[in-house]
Amino acid sequence: MTQPLAIDSRLPRVGTTIFTVMSALAQQHGAVNLGQGFPDFEGDPALLDAVTAAMRAGHNQYPPMAGVPALREAIAAKIEALYGRCFDPGEEITVTAGATQALLTTILALVHPGDEVIVLDPCYDSYEPNIVLAGATAVHVPLTPGSFRPDFARIAAALTPRTRAIIVNTPHNPSATVWRPEDMQQLAELLRPTRVLVIADEVYEHMVFDGQPHQSIARWPALAERGVIVSSFGKTYHVTGWKVGYVAAPAALMAEFRKVHQFNVFTVNTPMQHALAAYMADPAPYLGLPAFYQAKRDLFRQGLAGSRLRLLPSEGSYFQCVDYAAVSDLPEEAFCRWLTEQVGVAAIPLAAFYADGTEQRLARFCFAKRDDTLLRALERLAAL
């Protein structure tokens, strides 16, 4: 008799993500999918044409491991123009296979078994599995309930001699809050006497609303010198399926990052890198992104204003969280399933972003959709 395979899982607590579950449920019930965070519209045809042009020009073999030089130069120029910090494109910028790979590679390169990494709940669901794979421990510190602001007293209390890094995400997924200058200053002061690294998840950097500037850690020398910045072309240019992002970090940190990157993915799709480099010559597409998504946010918020869903602030990203306590007393996942099956609109429970499944009767919608998609969803949600 064949013996069963003995599998000792590296991630025994990890199953199918709530995003996959809710998207499948939306498809099954013909619901408008405002759950998973990706656009239902195409990127700029000029960018798509640039990929074809790059392929026709023969850019179809391996590029340099760290990325096409022209793209790294364009990234460095953008960061300097927007945030005032000059990164060396040769030694301090690496192109990645999306932001998720960038985060995993960063943690595998810089975090060691026995270390601790502070994560601020609610948080993106890849953080803890990445930390576990590195043999480290995720230390969960909740953001302030209701406002989702950083609680620096609790962050300070979580710091120990084993703390290797803290992950900061602004604009924040899922709460749609953004960090302010005073938050960055306070973080810099808190970390000054430590050797703690900052892993800055800035994938929504170009989606900050109401005239606020994005507080990249690149603006703050005390944070930038100990930080790794992660961003995403997929989010910025509406091409999430391309899975292209980048990392910017001081040379010493980047050298360690590249040691893992070369064996993790080695390099990234060549023609898309050349296309992105050419497209970035015009900053208008990313400079116009705040207004583009703010118009969608405002359309969605205005449409929900008459419902019994209480709107939380949406300061950045392309998400809108709502308090549904006046509609239902169901737990969050059950409510989102009911909303998908009975109302015909899919959302994500905020409890899915907490390590302990904290329940607050909150759900997250994604408004990175065509206006007609949003209007169709709003028509259904009006029944609430």
Per-residue pLDDT reduced to its tens digit, 106-117: 999 999 999 999
Share of the chain above pLDDT 90, in %: 93
Among the listed residues 150, 157, 158, the one whose alpha carbon sits nearest the alpha carbon of residue 184: 150
CA distance linking residue 11 with residue 35, whole number of Å = 25
Query: What does DSSP say about strands 137-142 and 116-121: parallel, antiparallel, or unpaired?
Result: parallel
pLDDT for the residue numbered 1: 56
Domain spanning 18-37+287-381 has what CATH number?
3.90.1150.10
At 16, is the pLDDT very low, low, confident or very high (cuts 50, 70, 90)?
Answer: confident
Domain coordinates of the chain in residue numbers? 18-37+287-381, 45-281
364 phi and psi, to 5 degrees? -115, 130
Q: Dihedral of CA 354/356/362/363: which sign?
A: positive
In this prediction, residue 4 has a pLDDT band, given cuts at 50, 70 and 90, of: confident
Could you name the CATH architecture of 45-281? 3-Layer(aba) Sandwich (3.40)
Give which of 64, 63, 96, 65 is closest to 249, Cα–Cα.
96
Task: Work out whether strand 310-311 and strand 245-248 pair parallel, antiparallel, or are unpaired.
Answer: unpaired
pLDDT tens readout for residues 146-183: 999 999 999 999 999 999 999 999 999 999 999 999 99
- The predicted-structure confidence for 113-150, as pLDDT tens digits, reads as follows 999 999 999 999 999 999 999 999 999 999 999 999 99
C-alpha 263/C-alpha 251 separation (Å) is 19
Is residue 280 helix, strand or coil?
coil
Amino acid (1-letter code) at residue 140 = H
Judge whether residue 314 has pLDDT over 90.
Answer: yes
Q: How far is CA 126 from CA 138, 288, 326, 380, in A?
A: 11, 29, 32, 32
